[in-house]
Amino acid sequence: MTLLSILLPFFVFGLEVSAVRKPKPRPRVILLGDSTVTDTAGWGAGFCADTKGLTDCINLSVSGTTSVNFIGNITWEETLEHCAEECTYATVQFGHNDQKEMTTDQFHANLTTFIHTIVDAGCKPILVTSLARRNFLDEHTPNDILGPYSAETIKVSEELGLPLLPLLADSLEYISKLGATESMRFNWDSATTNKDHTHLNSLGWAYFGRMVADEVHELIPEVSPFIVPNATLSQALEDGVILEPE
Ligand SMILES: *[C@@H]1O[C@H](CO)[C@@H](O)[C@H](O)[C@H]1NC(C)=O
Ligand SMILES: *[C@@H]1O[C@H](CO)[C@@H](O)[C@H](O)[C@H]1NC(C)=O
Ligand SMILES: *[C@@H]1O[C@H](CO)[C@@H](O)[C@H](O)[C@H]1NC(C)=O
Ligand SMILES: CC(=O)N[C@H]1CO[C@H](CO)[C@@H](O)[C@@H]1O
């Protein structure tokens, strides 16, 4: 018996095993939406910081955009390129600007078109309702006007059988418990005029990025293993508090 005839079966067997065990591609996540998703004024950077081991976590959101004008906007080519790659999940959060320009019925139609367009390009969409504005009627009652638009996002997700992250409901619940006064600590301009109740500073990215990460962990099984837990921060969101530095 030659050495080769002893080793050959192992070699062939080894090849077969490795062919069967072709590793699953690790997901890539792209973030699509308006300013409340950007790295500079939204939850995007905070969310990506809570992930580990994804092929990529890429923020393609553009300030001021709607479900209509995101198509053809500055990150659109890149969006299509990433959708064409294997295993790309796209979070889609519109509403803040759509609300200023179109009726809820129009939003429903336009968001549906948007989702069809990225699905045709190869993306796996995850719909997200809008981040709550931190406007209040009294200390523990937020004045929500995004609800009717987010209701359309929920309907579209149901009609198309796609996953949905309930960011509006979760952020409203959190700021209701936290209260108006404390909620102002998340304002984009908290160090100066402190009047921007829509956009987020770095404290806000960390908290609302974690909120989205926890929703993904709970609701998107394929991406869930790539979320790094932070039990202390998740508990603070649950309790309606902001953690104080030790
Ligand atoms: C891109 O979005 C901006 C809002 O930030 C809008 O004013 C502009 O018209 C959009 N551009 C295109 C090509 O749709
Ligand atoms: C989409 O929104 C635009 C306003 O931006 C509106 O003119 C148009 O009618 C909407 N499309 C549909 C199908 O409702
Ligand atoms: C959890 O988040 C808090 C608040 O951002 C941070 O101070 C802390 O270091 C984080 N803990 C871990 C384990 O990442
Ligand atoms: C709009 C925005 O926040 N874009 C960022 C998305 O993520 C990439 C990669 O991390 C950044 O380079 C962009 O600035």
| Each residue's pLDDT tens digit, 127-168 | 999 999 999 999 999 999 999 999 999 999 999 999 999 999
**Whose C-alpha lies nearest to ligand 3, atom 12?**
230
206: Cβ below 6 Å to ligand 4? no
Cα(137) to ligand 4 centroid in Å equals 34
pTM of the complete model: 0.91
* Burial per residue of 8-18, b for 16 or more beta-carbon CB atoms within 10 angstroms, e otherwise: eeeeeeeeeee
Q: Of the ligands numbered here, which is closest to the C-alpha atom of 63?
A: 1
**Whose C-alpha lies nearest to ligand 3, atom 2?**
233
Selection from 58, 97, 63, 122 nearest residue 111 by Cα: 97
Pick from 98-102, 158-162, 242-246: least confident: 242-246
| Residue 21 pLDDT class (50, 70, 90 cuts) | low
- φ, ψ of residue 61 in degrees (nearest 5): -70, 155
**Whose C-alpha lies nearest to ligand 3, atom 3?**
233
Mean of pLDDT over the chain: 93
Selection from 164, 95, 91, 90 nearest residue 132 by Cα: 95
Output the pLDDT for position 10.
Answer: 45
Residue 28 has pLDDT above 60, yes or no: yes
Region 32-53 average pLDDT: 98
Output the pLDDT for position 35.
Answer: 98
Atom of ligand 1 nearest to the CA of 97: 4
51: Cβ below 6 Å to ligand 4? no
Q: What number of other Cβ atoms are within 10 A of residue 146's Cβ?
A: 20
Output the pLDDT for position 101.
Answer: 97
With tokens 């649950």, the residue in question is 238
Output the pLDDT for position 13.
Answer: 45
Cα(95) to ligand 2 centroid in Å equals 13
Region 90-100 average pLDDT: 98
**Whose C-alpha lies nearest to ligand 4, atom 1?**
38
Output the pLDDT for position 16.
Answer: 46
